[in-house]
Chains A and B, each alone.
Chain A
């Protein structure tokens, strides 16, 4: 008998009688103002939130907020005059020197400040993790209240890789002192647009 068969046989023999799944549709939070809640939560976790209004304004803000002499990368055609358009065929190691990655979120979650990104909006899987700074564009109407609402939207979505990102990378491993910028971005900015 192979290891697989052995393990499966033991599990089958030892598992208790079937216990039903609970109804999780009971988890409903009605948030009066999801944009406000989102903004508070995101700022609370160390993110920088900017109400940009439009994509056009985002361009001006990026020019103002980030060092233009360094490498900016985005998968958004609309930002091609402030950032290099990412090449999907490039080796991920070549992204090592990216100063700023600009990505548009699929959705954002008010209860925890996180954004949902899939690899098609990232351009490269490694981009939002390897860049020194991360900027994410969030459309106000894409903000949902809770993780349950988020999964309701992405329940049947197909992707190779997707991730929630809830702020700049961080660690408190040395004496519980909070340090922003562990291995991933040192900062995360969310530009809210209508």
Chain B
């Protein structure tokens, strides 16, 4: 399933359907506007972002002790704790928990971590069926595609396509595409799944070191349906999900849903602390590159991310290229700064999928300087020799041109002459800037030439 094509190529594919691109762009911008309205209605919004960022700085600087404290409290609460270095170890732990209880079917609520670990495929290879219960993730699963957005997994799909998938997999009438009717069908189908699965796995939004509880946020209620009806409840979390005290949830729960979709709070913010009688609770702490990221001062702040997806909704490149073009579980600006830490070579193209406009940093609820990190990753990637050769060549040509006034003048003249007299030399498919764009009309002279003529006039 892993794609080897780069962002530009995949984005080009997405761009072939102009109507879809316009819809996608508009739908995400609408969510960004809802986020703005919600933020502006919240007193002390900027101070809240500042506080959230500072709490996360504290977490990053004291993670070792918080992890030990969290583990101690989990055990006190009767939760079994596991540690995993990587995807393989994580998946093996989940498998062994299920195997011990002879469980062959599991229901899962949204968890980007288990997507990154390819848990479903791992378990399916061992005869265990997994069903994703978040509606968007369920739709992506039956279409055999990864989520294209961390909050809105199938935002790139039109309702007719979803109707077709439901027709094929759930036996709905052909041509049915009404969102309410489709949701009702999924509700009925998945309710039966919740009632019959003995094991449920959830992700974790926040893990409180002080109390050993963890909080899971959803709008659909799927995490709770799965967890409370299961005899084995499993939670998988990255190390960075820790927050120090319960009262800090006040800061994060005020920011999360407002930043994500402009809603004052997620419908469900569930605090799981102890198993109910007769139930087992397991929690897996996953490193998967986090401890390594801590050692990179320029990039460690990306561990503050609370996965609201705000940076994707605002990003002009994301909105017009679609999440799947990032060929990484976490797409958009935040994905582009997290992915190179895991595999710089494979994700060398992602930090370049940005205009560096800075809009992502401006909406980030925990104030990660995303666009600065994108810029720094580019330098790192070029230094390590992973950048595309065409890009390296054009950058060198540009550096030469900008460092020599003579070459600069000649190049400017040539460019203007070409645009005015031979536009086909520039407006062609060999110029990547021409794709989906029209080149502007050129002026007759450069500023330098104009100034030489007019600069001395009073």
Contacts and interface: CB of A to CB of B under 8 A. Distances in A.
Interface of A: 2-4, 6-8, 10-22, 24, 26-27, 29, 41, 44-45, 92-93, 96, 109, 111-114, 119, 124-126, 129-130, 146-148, 150-152, 154-155, 159-177, 179, 181-185
A29 B276 contact: no
Nearest to A30: B43
B30 interface: yes
A175 B62 contact: no
A18 B44 contact: no
A142 B50 CA distance: 29
B72 to A, nearest CB: 13
A66 to B, nearest CB: 20
A22 B276 CA distance: 35
A118 to B, nearest CB: 9
Residue with the greatest number of chain A CB neighbours at <10 A, chosen from B51, B54, B60, B269: B269
Interface string B97-114: 000000000000000000
B271 A163 contact: yes
Contact of B154 (A26, A96, A114, A173): A173
Contacts of B287: 7, 10
B247 A12 contact: no
B295 A14 contact: yes
What does DSSP make chain B's interface, helix, strand, loop or mixed?
Answer: helix
Contact of B263 (A6, A45, A129, A177): A45
A164 B224 contact: no
Contacts, number: 249
Residue with the greatest number of chain A CB neighbours at <10 A, chosen from B31, B67, B154, B179: B179
Nearest to A127: B228
Contacts of A12: 64
Residue with the greatest number of chain B CB neighbours at <10 A, chosen from A12, A147, A155: A147
B229 interface: yes
5 contacts: A2-B83, A10-B292, A16-B300, A114-B265, A126-B224
Nearest to B272: A161
Nearest to A96: B195
B237 interface: no
Contacts of A152: 247
Q: Which 3 A-B pairs have the closest CB atoms?
A: A184-B221, A182-B220, A126-B228
A176 B253 CA distance: 22
Contacts of A11: 63-64, 67, 239, 291, 294
Contacts of A160: 273-276
A161 to B, nearest CB: 6
Contacts of B220: 169-171, 182-184
Residue with the greatest number of chain A CB neighbours at <10 A, chosen from B85, B247, B285: B247
B153 interface: yes
A8 B67 contact: yes
Contact of B60 (A16, A167, A171, A181): A16
Nearest to A8: B64
B58 interface: yes
B264 A165 contact: no
Contact of B31 (A45, A173, A176, A182): A176
Residue with the greatest number of chain A CB neighbours at <10 A, chosen from B64, B191, B297: B64
B133 interface: yes
B251 A24 contact: yes
A161 B274 contact: yes
A173 B149 CA distance: 11
Given A45-B264, A130-B229, A172-B261, 13 more contacts: A7-B239, A11-B67, A17-B61, A18-B61, A125-B224, A150-B250, A155-B247, A164-B265, A166-B265, A167-B267, A173-B154, A175-B158, A176-B30
B85 A3 contact: yes
A15 B48 CA distance: 24
B388 interface: no
A151 B250 contact: yes
A38 B27 CA distance: 29
Contact of B276 (A109, A150, A161, A171): A161
Interface stretch (B180-188, B335-343, B400-408): B180-188
A36 to B, nearest CB: 15
B203 interface: no
Given A112-B265, A161-B271, A174 B183 contact: yes
Interface string B222-259: 10110011000000000100001011111101100000
Contact of B225 (A13, A20, A184): A184
B55 interface: yes
A166 B266 CA distance: 7
A3 to B, nearest CB: 5
B68 A173 contact: no
Contacts of A16: 60-61, 294, 297, 300
A18 B62 contact: yes
A123 to B, nearest CB: 12
Residue with the greatest number of chain B CB neighbours at <10 A, chosen from A18, A22, A155, A181: A22
B62 A163 contact: no
B84 interface: yes
B47 interface: yes
B159 interface: yes
B219 A169 contact: yes
Nearest to B254: A147
B291 A176 contact: no
B89 interface: yes
A173 B139 contact: yes
A191 to B, nearest CB: 19
